[in-house]
A and B are shown apart, each in its own frame.
Chain A
Amino acid sequence: TQLLEQSPQFLSIQEGENLTVYCNSSSVFSSLQWYRQEPGEGPVLLVTVVTGGEVKKLKRLTFQFGDARKDSSLHITAAQPGDTGLYLCAGVQREYGNKLVFGAGTILRVKS
């Protein structure tokens, strides 16, 4: 069974601080995705990383995929209260119809 471990589980920071969320697996996935989920809503896709060593930027968010395609990180620069939410990483299993295997998530709270 492929599992994704996400850390930290909870993060509470002040506006303007930087933070990093980690996602680690013992197995290789076809690709890895990061989602953000607001209360009462479904997850919304932020980015998909496919190639080992890949780095993608989305405004103040930087996503990295490990060289071995087993780990990933999400770095947020100068966090804002609007960044508050649940961040989920998910491994894509292409051989199983693109089934998603999710980590447990990181709850981020940014205080103003």
Chain B
Amino acid sequence: DAGVTQSPTHLIKTRGQQVTLRCSPKSGHDTVSWYQQALGQGPQFIFQYYEEEERQRGNFPDRFSGHQFPNYSSELNVNALLLGDSALYLCASSQLAAETQYFGPGTRLLVL
């Protein structure tokens, strides 16, 4: 049984560009959350998706948007990239109302 998978593993972009990161949840999970982890920091909550809708959102600008598909997989989109967007982006999946979330290996984004 595959765990949470994310793609790509690494990505290099330049300022102003747009990026799309992808996440496939663990089998049987219907809820996907995205976190941003800057170097030397703990992960920060971006948003959570359930039933293809954004249910919760952290303190991130509208440049950060997402989507969940009928098969529960999810995408994170970031527009107008800034240098400060360089970070490890983590996807976590769970069953709705379950406290335990399972994290993927992350996508490391570098903005030059």
A residues sitting closer than 8 Å to B (CB atoms) are 4, 6, 30-31, 33, 40-45, 48, 88, 90, 92, 94, 96-105
Contact = CB atoms under 8 A, between A and B. Distances in A.
A43 B99 contact: no
Nearest to B9: A40
B44 interface: yes
Contacts of B97: 98
B48 A99 contact: yes
B6 to A, nearest CB: 8
Contact of B100 (A6, A48, A88, A102): A48
Given A31-B99, A42-B103, A101 B45 contact: yes
A102 to B, nearest CB: 3
Size category of the binding interface on chain B: 20 to 34
B105 A40 contact: yes
Contacts of A100: 33, 35, 43, 45, 92, 101
B42 to A, nearest CB: 3
A43 B81 CA distance: 25
A24 B20 CA distance: 35
B105 A44 contact: no
5 contacts: A41-B105, A42-B92, A45-B101, A88-B42, A96-B56
B54 to A, nearest CB: 11
A83 to B, nearest CB: 19
Interface in B76-112: 90, 92, 94, 97-106
